[in-house]
Amino acid sequence: MTAPAASPAARALPGSVEPLRVTKGHGTQNDFVLLDGRTGVALDADLVRALADRRAGIGGDGVIRLVASADLPEGAAVLAEDPAATWFMDYRNADGSIAEMCGNGVRVVAEYARALGLWDPAAGELVLGTRAGVRRVREAAGPAGETWYAVDMGEWRLPGGPEAAAAGADAQVDVTGLTVARPALSVDLGNPHTVLALADDAELAAADLTRAPVVDPVPPHGTNVELVVPLGEQRLQDGTVVGRVRMRVHERGVGETRSCGTGACAAALAVRAWAGPQAPDVWLVDVPGGTVRVATLPDGHVELAGPAVLVADLDVDPAALRG
Q: List Cα–Cα distances, 204 to 152, 159, 176, 179, 285, in angstroms.
A: 29, 25, 11, 12, 14
Q: How far apart are CA 313 and CA 323, in angstroms?
A: 21
Residue among 260, 285, 287, 305 flagged as catalytic:
260
Q: Is 104 in the site for ligand LBFN2T5F (CB under 6 A)?
A: yes
Question: Do residues 173 and 182 lie in contact, with contact meaning Cβ atoms separated by under 8 Å?
Answer: yes
Q: Is 191 in the site for ligand LBFN2T5F (CB under 6 A)?
A: yes
Closest by alpha carbon to 98, among 122, 82, 74?
A: 74
- Residue 187 Cβ, how far from ligand LBFN2T5F at the closest point, in Å? 12
Residue 310 bridge partners (DSSP): 25
* Long-range contact pairs involving 233-237 (C-beta distance under 8 Å, separation at least 24): 233/280, 234/284
Closest by alpha carbon to 129, among 76, 57, 194, 204?
A: 76
- Residue 58 Cβ, how far from ligand LBFN2T5F at the closest point, in Å? 17
Tell me the three state secondary structure of residue 278.
coil
Nearer to ligand LBFN2T5F, 4 or 196 (CB): 196
**Binders of ligand LBFN2T5F among 244-273, rule CB under 6 A?**
251-254, 260-263
- Residue 264 Cβ, how far from ligand LBFN2T5F at the closest point, in Å? 8
- Residue 279 Cβ, how far from ligand LBFN2T5F at the closest point, in Å? 22
Find out whether 222 is annotated in a ligand binding site. Answer: no
* Long-range contact pairs involving 289-295 (C-beta distance under 8 Å, separation at least 24): 289/26, 289/28, 289/29, 289/30, 289/258, 289/259, 290/28, 290/29, 290/259, 291/28, 291/143, 292/28, 292/104, 292/259, 292/261, 292/264, 293/148, 293/242, 294/264, 294/265, 294/267, 294/268, 294/269
Nearer to ligand LBFN2T5F, 57 or 60 (CB): 60
- Residue 106 Cβ, how far from ligand LBFN2T5F at the closest point, in Å? 8
Which stretch in 5-13, 49-57, 97-105, 232-240 sits in contact with ligand LBFN2T5F by CB under 6 A? 97-105
Nearer to ligand LBFN2T5F, 4 or 303 (CB): 303
Q: Is 25 in the site for ligand LBFN2T5F (CB under 6 A)?
A: no
Q: How far apart are CA 257 and CA 17, in angstroms?
A: 34
Q: Is 215 in the site for ligand LBFN2T5F (CB under 6 A)?
A: no
Residue among 63, 79, 101, 102 flagged as catalytic:
102
Q: Is 103 in the site for ligand LBFN2T5F (CB under 6 A)?
A: yes
ω into 217 cis (within 30 of 0): yes
Nearer to ligand LBFN2T5F, 19 or 265 (CB): 265
Question: Do residues 265 and 281 lie in contact, with contact meaning Cβ atoms separated by under 8 Å?
Answer: no
Binding residue count for ligand LBFN2T5F, defined by CB under 6 A? 18
102 is catalytic: yes
State the binding string over 62-81 for ligand LBFN2T5F (x if CB under 6 A, else -).
x-------------------
Q: Crossing angle of helices 103-115/261-275, nearest 10°? A: 140
Closest by alpha carbon to 270, among 156, 106, 190?
A: 156
| Distance spanning both ends of the chain, measured CA to CA | 38
- Residue 93 Cβ, how far from ligand LBFN2T5F at the closest point, in Å? 5
Residues annotated within the binding site are 30, 93, 103-104, 191, 224, 251-252, 261-262
- The binding site for substrate comprises 30, 93, 103-104, 191, 224, 251-252, 261-262
Query: Which residues carry out catalysis?
Result: 102, 260
Query: Interface residues with ligand LBFN2T5F (CB under 6 A)?
Result: 30, 62, 93, 99, 102-105, 191, 224, 251-254, 260-263
